[in-house]
Amino acid sequence: MTTVTKRPGYTEGGWTNPENLFEDGKYCVGVDQTWQKLTEYGFSIPSDATITKVVVRIKGYETSPENDYTYFDVWDGTEWKSREIPLESIDQVVEVDITDLISWSPEILNNLETRLHYLHTITVGFQKKSSPYVDYVEVEATYSTPYPTTQETTQIMMQGLEQFMSMMFMFMFMMMIMSMMTALMGAM
Ligand SMILES: [Ca+2]
User: Above 90 in pLDDT, residue 146?
Assistant: no
**Predicted local distance difference test score (pLDDT) of residue 22:** 97
Read off the pLDDT of residues 35-48 as tens digits, 9 standing for 90 and up. Answer: 999 999 999 999 99
* More reliable by pLDDT, 121 or 81: 81
CA 11–ligand 1 middle distance (angstroms)? 13
Q: How many Å apart are CA 47 and CA 141, to the nearest integer?
A: 14
Residue 8 has pLDDT above 70, yes or no: yes
Give 9 Cα–ligand 1 centroid separation in angstroms.
13
pLDDT (0 to 100) of residue 185: 85
pLDDT of the residue at 125: 59
Task: Print burial letters for 3-37: b (CB count within 10 Å at least 16), e (below 16).
Answer: eeebebeebeeebeebebbeeeeebbbbbbeebbb
Give the Cβ contact number of residue 137 at 10 Å: 23
Tell me the CA–centroid distance for residue 48 and ligand 1, in Å.
34
In order of 13, 84, 136, 152, 171, the CA distances from 56 in angstroms are 19, 11, 11, 28, 57
Q: What would the mean pLDDT of 78-100 be, rounded to a whole number? A: 97
Whether the predicted pLDDT of 115 surpasses 80:
yes
Cα of 17 vs centre of ligand 1, distance in Å, is 9
> pTM for this one?
0.76
pLDDT attached to residue 120: 87
| CATH code of the domain made up of 2-144 | 2.60.120
**Average pLDDT in the 169-186 region?**
91
The whole-number pLDDT of residue 188 equals 73
Tell me the domain boundaries of the chain: 2-144, 149-188
For residue 18, pLDDT beyond 90 = yes
For residue 159, the one-letter residue type is Q
From 83, 61, 65, 66, select the one nearest 74 (Cα to Cα): 83
- CB-based neighbours (< 5 A) of ligand 1, an ion: 20, 23, 26, 135-136
Length of the chain measured in residues: 188
